[in-house]
Chain A
Amino acid sequence: MTKLAPVLSAHWDEKDSFTIAAYTRHGGYKASAKALAMDPDAVIQLVKDSGLRGRGGAGFPTGMKWGFIPQGDEKDHYLVVNADESEPGTCKDTPLLMANPHVLIEGCIIACHAIRAKQAFIYIRGEVTHVVRRVNQAIEDAYKAGHLGKGIDIVLHVGAGAYICGEETALLDSLEGFRGQPRLRPPFPAIAGLYARPTVVNNVESIASVPAIIANGAQWYQAMGTEKSKGTTLYSLSGHVTNPGQFEAPLGITLREILELSGGVRAGHKLKFWTPGGSSTPLFTDEHLDTPLDYEGVAAAGSMLGTKALQIFDETTCVVRAVLRWTEFYKHESCGKCTPCREGTWWLVQILRDLENGVGTEDDLAKLLDLCDNIMGRSFCALGDGATSPITSSIQYFRDEYIAHLTNGGCPFDPVKSTLFSGANA
């Protein structure tokens, strides 16, 4: 049985955990002091050795990403922290920043030093007023304490409601004051990112993981996790479970283990389908309860670890309704730049709506799959690809349920049953 391993979350249960006092009480800003005394290349090497991989979804090795920044080029370099967290199901960076913003700030200081950047930006989604307050206050306090403003500066940039701005190049355009649409690559951000300068874009959790790595060493971090997926990470459990919440565990833990720890699927119900890493990662079912939740394990089972957003749905949930709603999300969030995603999501929603209402024929399923084939790998960025994941995977596992809508002339499920307050005051 895998044991939980709170590192990032280690002190969140202290009432003042978000203050600089609490953070320093637990050794905060010692890692940055240590890192600043090191050669930047040594810091990059240490992060490389730790095996830390990006927690924003793609799992790219963080140290390697830092190593791509050209050195000695006399240009300004930038660190940009991706705190846009908008992938459905994903809810880890937000509580992290609410409970302990200073760990991110310390991580930024270390990362800036490593990549020779003087300026970091934290791009946070705009729909979280209190988190914005906390991060802003933490930055102010870090300046007051002298951690910032002596060669390294941080600016908090608040988004305004656009999932696509989580995509790193759209984020950069947004940060430069444009509409958040993805950029053509190459050039990659490491060469020409923010203001066309070498830029590292990392997820909140990736950067927040760095201070502990510096403090405890690469060996310590390496020792946790699986062969190619090192360290601990936040798994976010939500949905039809007895106890939802954040679980920090070594990579490779299974859903079965997390459910056992936390009290399982809600009483009297059983698991139907779940996402391993947000809505853009193909659905899993109870077949996958023992899939190791690391980058390789999930990929081998046909999905992606993504953001480790474990959204659990029990047997009361209509998969067609679930998928339709996600598809509506992608339609709403499509940036509009490329044809397959913009027009494809428009069309997908219409077909799925019909299917959910029992209108259509089995041929529409084939059409749906063919449409997904015309979107997947044809769109400009991964949003379009992600939009097809719930559809293709749900048809793979629940084809009969789609057909049942058609034969039933509508949805056979009672939506009330799947609510949290079913039987109560619904």
Chain B
Amino acid sequence: MTTTQENPTAQEVELITVVIDGFEVSVPKGTLVIRAAEKLGIQIPRFCDHPLLDPVGACRQCLVDIEINGRAFPKPQASCTIPVEPNMIVKTQLTSAVAEKAQRGVMELLLVNHPLDCPVCDKGGECPLQNQAMSTGNGETRFEGVKRTFEKPIAISSQVLLDRERCVLCARCTRFSEQIANDPFITLNERGALQQVGIYENQPFESYFSGNTVQICPVGALTGAAYRFRARPFDLVSTPSACEHCASGCDMRTDVRRGKTLRRLAGDDAAVNEEWNCDKGRWAFKYVTAVDRLTTPLVRGADGVLATASWPEALAAAASGLKGKRAAVLVGGRATSEDAYGYSKFARIALGTNDIDFRARVTTDEERDFLAAKVVGSTTTYRDIDVADHVVLVGFEPEEESPIVFLRINKQVRKRALKVSAVATKLSIGVDKLKAEFIRVAPGAEGSAVAALSLTAKSVILVGERASESTGLLSAVVQLGDKSGAKIAWIPRRAGERGAIEAGALGALLPGGRPVADAAARVDISTLWGVSSLPANPGRTTSEIISSLNNGELDAVVVGGIDPLDMANSAEVLAALKKSFVVSLEIATSAVTELADVVLPVAAITEKSGSFLNWEGRPRAFDSAVSDSLNRSDLRILSAIADQMGESIMLGTVTQAVREIASLGKWDGARAKFAPVAATGAQKISGNEFLLTSWRRLLDLGTMQKGEANLAGTARKSVAVISPKRAETLGVKDGDILRVSNKHGAISLPALVEDIHDDAVWVPRNSFGTQTLISLNAVHGDVVTVVKA
């Protein structure tokens, strides 16, 4: 047995020592000179260079003198393209007159065609060109000629504007779009001095990642419509933050002026989002200030009308309504880890129940068992994708449902042709871009396709939350994982789901993955919480809670940020809420607040501190970016209600929760057991019947995308997808209107004939013109009828 192989991270990295401006530095083999210099604190000016893009050496701003083994290059070299070599001596602008002049010369040339419009440019104050022109440029211009002019600015999507005059043609944006996002919708066009960035006239720059180009543009050529002319960088206060939109876990920065969020930028976390994010994360933040934002508590009076109330009144009403009742908690997947912990503790102590579930969507017991057995405590990470021999996507569309996961897979596909397979009903745009093997299945038949896969211990199975919609699929995944040793990761859509599991916001789990059914686990937690005992019987699931409210087995419910429209049986949900005593903690009015007895306005993400666990289980903490009178996290309110109920949970502040969570310690007892469920397979159909399949797109009617029309303008168009074979039978071609219906209702959408299982019809789940769950009350695999309208 060798010991070295056991620890792959201990792999030797070959170091190379070079001399830069007289200083020695040792860097890993392959490091570019420009970055070796950074290590010494020597900043070589640059434009086209970007550490995450392939080097191009186009702008020529980073020229330095280089000598290897005593032999000097005859001309200065682009330090952004040359890797270090042994015995290399580099002289930058600091020690070489030639390099200094070369850089000055290039800077002068870059400014030849650049307009002098810094005072009105959005980039002014944070512009690499402006900064480097100060450090590297000549004081005065020698150019007296005619500058190139373009019509300005042009919208290359509803969200991104292009000022070609300001462009320095570094090609960062086009390289990003091609190399990172795999969306080559913007390209360099024309040539020579007329070269310019552009789109093809009939295809706007509708990439989910377009905002990154605005961020990495080293001048003010690409700007976001939302931020244009809004502020100067020095007026902004920046706060590191975490993205609340999905489970990818992006590091972010929120820029605020006078209490108002003006923009959000991707932060830099090499392990997670690198320096990217998606357009939803970047631009969907106006919901916070949307018109329907709740500002004061509401209490339903004796007259049955919701009316404004004071906080003490509202808290008292909530407490008395819950006290001594058979109550449950529905928390939703968007809570911070701390808030989820608050709900979890509140349920157990204040309500004395395990009836808590964060899954405000189609759920099954199979999924609950899967979460308890396989997801809580799971350690699969982005890094596993980086080194995987095969990535399998199950019920998961990374580009739509966790865009940074998409970027990471794409990176490996590009870099080393990583093998990707997708078990899915329809070939999606994203899966196609990943050049993945498309394993086409009928909706409901996913399980057997998964069972047929063969993987290794270096493979990774990425399972989406929609896997629960196909009976037996999660069981097949578990079996495949057990058989092959492949790693499994569950990637939900929402930012708070993994945190909610770890916080025990699930009927079968206490905080830290402790099974409710395990007496030792209960003792652990009751000791920590200072209570004599905890309820022992596993709690109800979301759907059980709803039906119990409906049939009178439960009286009351605390609802934190869920949308009944996310659940297939929305009518049943609404009926249940109508019947029961409902305490709703919400940021904006919703179908739930309309029916609630007590409505407690809570802080939006930018207004509070907390943390999220992303799908990996990696925490990202953030502070409030906007100080606001609404700075009330859910847990503080829950704590107040609990106090009123005489069942303190002692979580007055986020800091207290953080400390308590940290003191939880590890659970080393047994994990909950997974009980496999047999697959039922696809339903039988005939004639015009189809099996419905759908997922949510990244940009859709999600409540947190409210108020941002420019962003909505870049959403993918709503279509109903059927296979060529079925299209022929129906006599349908692209663009014809299809009517998808069942006994509940109908949706009409333009047809798109594409690669999809013959039995299936795909529609977006919650997009413009199509809210499947509401209109059809149908889920994945249900039978619908499709006709040409």
On A, residues with C-beta under 8 Å from B are: 162, 164, 179, 184, 331-340, 342-347, 350-351, 367, 371, 373-375, 377-380
Asked whether, in the complex, the Cβ of B60 is within 8 Å of the Cβ of A377, the reply is no
Asked whether, in the complex, the Cβ of B56 is within 8 Å of the Cβ of A340, the reply is no
List the B side residues contacting A334 at CB < 8 Å: 191-193
**CA–CA, A377 to B98, complex, Å?**
11
Asked whether, in the complex, the Cβ of B193 is within 8 Å of the Cβ of A339, the reply is no
Assess A380 versus B102: contact at CB under 8 Å? Given A334-B192, A342-B195. Answer: no
Asked whether, in the complex, the Cβ of A347 is within 8 Å of the Cβ of B81, the reply is no
Asked whether, in the complex, the Cβ of A343 is within 8 Å of the Cβ of B112, the reply is yes
Interface residues in B36-85 (C-beta closer than 8 Å to A): 55-61, 63, 74-76, 81
From A339, A342, A367, residue with most partner B Cβ within 10 Å = A339
Asked whether, in the complex, the Cβ of B105 is within 8 Å of the Cβ of A335, the reply is no
Asked whether, in the complex, the Cβ of B105 is within 8 Å of the Cβ of A373, the reply is yes
Say how far A91's CB is from chain B's closest CB, in angstroms: 24
List the A side residues contacting B12 at CB < 8 Å: none
**B528 CB-CB contact with A under 8 Å:** no
List the B side residues contacting A336 at CB < 8 Å: 169, 188, 190-195
8 Å CB contact of A377 from B74, B142, B143, B148: B74
8 Å CB contact of B145 from A162, A342, A350, A378: A350
**B146 CB-CB contact with A under 8 Å:** yes
From B55, B101, B169, B193, residue with most partner A Cβ within 10 Å = B193
Asked whether, in the complex, the Cβ of B74 is within 8 Å of the Cβ of A347, the reply is no
Asked whether, in the complex, the Cβ of A339 is within 8 Å of the Cβ of B106, the reply is yes
**B108 CB-CB contact with A under 8 Å:** yes
**CA–CA, A158 to B145, complex, Å?**
37
Say how far B766's CB is from chain A's closest CB, in angstroms: 39
List the A side residues contacting B101 at CB < 8 Å: 373-374
Contact with A along B137-167 (1 / 0, CB 8 A): 0000011011010000000000000000000
Contact with A along B109-150 (1 / 0, CB 8 A): 110110000000000000000000000000000110110100
Say how far A335's CB is from chain B's closest CB, in angstroms: 5
Asked whether, in the complex, the Cβ of B188 is within 8 Å of the Cβ of A339, the reply is no
8 Å CB contact of A184 from B81, B146, B190, B191: B81
Asked whether, in the complex, the Cβ of A346 is within 8 Å of the Cβ of B113, the reply is yes
Say how far B404's CB is from chain A's closest CB, in angstroms: 28
Closest to B47 in A: A339
Closest to B187 in A: A179
**CA–CA, A333 to B561, complex, Å?**
60
Asked whether, in the complex, the Cβ of A340 is within 8 Å of the Cβ of B195, the reply is no
Say how far B71's CB is from chain A's closest CB, in angstroms: 16
Assess A343 versus B193: contact at CB under 8 Å? Given A373-B105, A377-B76. Answer: yes
**B168 CB-CB contact with A under 8 Å:** yes
Asked whether, in the complex, the Cβ of B109 is within 8 Å of the Cβ of A374, the reply is yes
**CA–CA, A331 to B105, complex, Å?**
18
Say how far B270's CB is from chain A's closest CB, in angstroms: 24
Q: Which 7 A-B pairs have the closest CB atoms?
A: A374-B105, A336-B195, A377-B75, A350-B145, A343-B109, A334-B192, A346-B193
Asked whether, in the complex, the Cβ of B57 is within 8 Å of the Cβ of A343, the reply is no
Assess A380 versus B57: contact at CB under 8 Å? Given A336-B195, A374-B102. Answer: yes
Assess A342 versus B169: contact at CB under 8 Å? Given A336-B194, A378-B60, A378-B76. Answer: yes
Closest to A379 in B: B60
Asked whether, in the complex, the Cβ of A184 is within 8 Å of the Cβ of B195, the reply is no
19 residue pairs bridging A and B, Cβ less than 8 Å apart: A184-B55, A331-B193, A334-B191, A335-B191, A336-B169, A336-B195, A338-B58, A338-B59, A339-B58, A339-B61, A339-B168, A344-B109, A345-B192, A346-B112, A346-B148, A351-B145, A377-B75, A378-B76, A378-B106
Contact with A along B178-190 (1 / 0, CB 8 A): 0000000000101
List the B side residues contacting A346 at CB < 8 Å: 112-113, 148, 193
Asked whether, in the complex, the Cβ of A378 is within 8 Å of the Cβ of B63, the reply is yes
Interface residues in B175-232 (C-beta closer than 8 Å to A): 188, 190-195
List the B side residues contacting A377 at CB < 8 Å: 74-76
List the A side residues contacting B168 at CB < 8 Å: 339
Asked whether, in the complex, the Cβ of B142 is within 8 Å of the Cβ of A378, the reply is no
List the B side residues contacting A333 at CB < 8 Å: 192
Say how far A82's CB is from chain B's closest CB, in angstroms: 19
**CA–CA, A149 to B105, complex, Å?**
53
Q: Majority SS of interface residues in chain B?
A: loop
List the B side residues contacting A162 at CB < 8 Å: 191
Closest to A360 in B: B144
On B, residues with C-beta under 8 Å from A are: 55-61, 63, 74-76, 81, 101-102, 104-106, 108-110, 112-113, 142-143, 145-146, 148, 168-169, 188, 190-195
List the B side residues contacting A339 at CB < 8 Å: 58-61, 106, 109-110, 168-169
**CA–CA, A391 to B446, complex, Å?**
70
Closest to A351 in B: B145
List the A side residues contacting B146 at CB < 8 Å: 350
Say how far B15's CB is from chain A's closest CB, in angstroms: 22
Asked whether, in the complex, the Cβ of B58 is within 8 Å of the Cβ of A378, the reply is no
Say how far A353's CB is from chain B's closest CB, in angstroms: 9
8 Å CB contact of B143 from A332, A347, A378: A347
From A179, A350, A367, A378, residue with most partner B Cβ within 10 Å = A378
8 Å CB contact of B105 from A164, A378, A380: A378
Asked whether, in the complex, the Cβ of A340 is within 8 Å of the Cβ of B113, the reply is no
**CA–CA, A249 to B330, complex, Å?**
92
Closest to A341 in B: B192
Assess A184 versus B143: contact at CB under 8 Å? Given A334-B191, A345-B192. Answer: no
Say how far B152's CB is from chain A's closest CB, in angstroms: 19
List the A side residues contacting B76 at CB < 8 Å: 377-378
Asked whether, in the complex, the Cβ of B192 is within 8 Å of the Cβ of A335, the reply is yes
15 A-B pairs besides A336-B193, A337-B195, A347-B109 with CB distance below 8 A are A335-B192, A336-B188, A336-B190, A336-B191, A338-B59, A339-B58, A339-B106, A339-B168, A343-B110, A347-B145, A373-B105, A374-B105, A374-B108, A378-B63, A378-B106
**CA–CA, A179 to B195, complex, Å?**
11
Asked whether, in the complex, the Cβ of B109 is within 8 Å of the Cβ of A380, the reply is no
List the A side residues contacting B74 at CB < 8 Å: 377
List the B side residues contacting A164 at CB < 8 Å: 191
List the B side residues contacting A347 at CB < 8 Å: 109, 112, 143, 145
List the A side residues contacting B145 at CB < 8 Å: 347, 350-351
List the B side residues contacting A350 at CB < 8 Å: 145-146
From B56, B81, B105, B194, residue with most partner A Cβ within 10 Å = B105
Closest to A162 in B: B191
**CA–CA, A347 to B142, complex, Å?**
10
Asked whether, in the complex, the Cβ of B112 is within 8 Å of the Cβ of A332, the reply is no
**CA–CA, A351 to B75, complex, Å?**
25
**CA–CA, A307 to B191, complex, Å?**
25
Say how far A181's CB is from chain B's closest CB, in angstroms: 8
List the A side residues contacting B110 at CB < 8 Å: 339, 343
Assess A345 versus B60: contact at CB under 8 Å? Given A184-B55, A378-B102. Answer: no
List the B side residues contacting A343 at CB < 8 Å: 109-110, 112-113, 193
Say how far B45's CB is from chain A's closest CB, in angstroms: 12
List the A side residues contacting B57 at CB < 8 Å: 184, 338, 380
8 Å CB contact of A380 from B58, B142, B148, B192: B58
List the B side residues contacting A179 at CB < 8 Å: 188, 191
List the B side residues contacting A375 at CB < 8 Å: 105, 109
Say how far A108's CB is from chain B's closest CB, in angstroms: 30
**CA–CA, A182 to B104, complex, Å?**
24
**CA–CA, A190 to B168, complex, Å?**
32
Say how far B294's CB is from chain A's closest CB, in angstroms: 54
List the A side residues contacting B104 at CB < 8 Å: 374
**CA–CA, A371 to B109, complex, Å?**
9
**CA–CA, A343 to B193, complex, Å?**
6
List the B side residues contacting A379 at CB < 8 Å: 60
**CA–CA, A367 to B109, complex, Å?**
13
**CA–CA, A318 to B110, complex, Å?**
31
**CA–CA, A162 to B195, complex, Å?**
14
Closest to A353 in B: B145
Say how far A261's CB is from chain B's closest CB, in angstroms: 37
Asked whether, in the complex, the Cβ of A340 is within 8 Å of the Cβ of B60, the reply is yes
Asked whether, in the complex, the Cβ of A380 is within 8 Å of the Cβ of B113, the reply is no
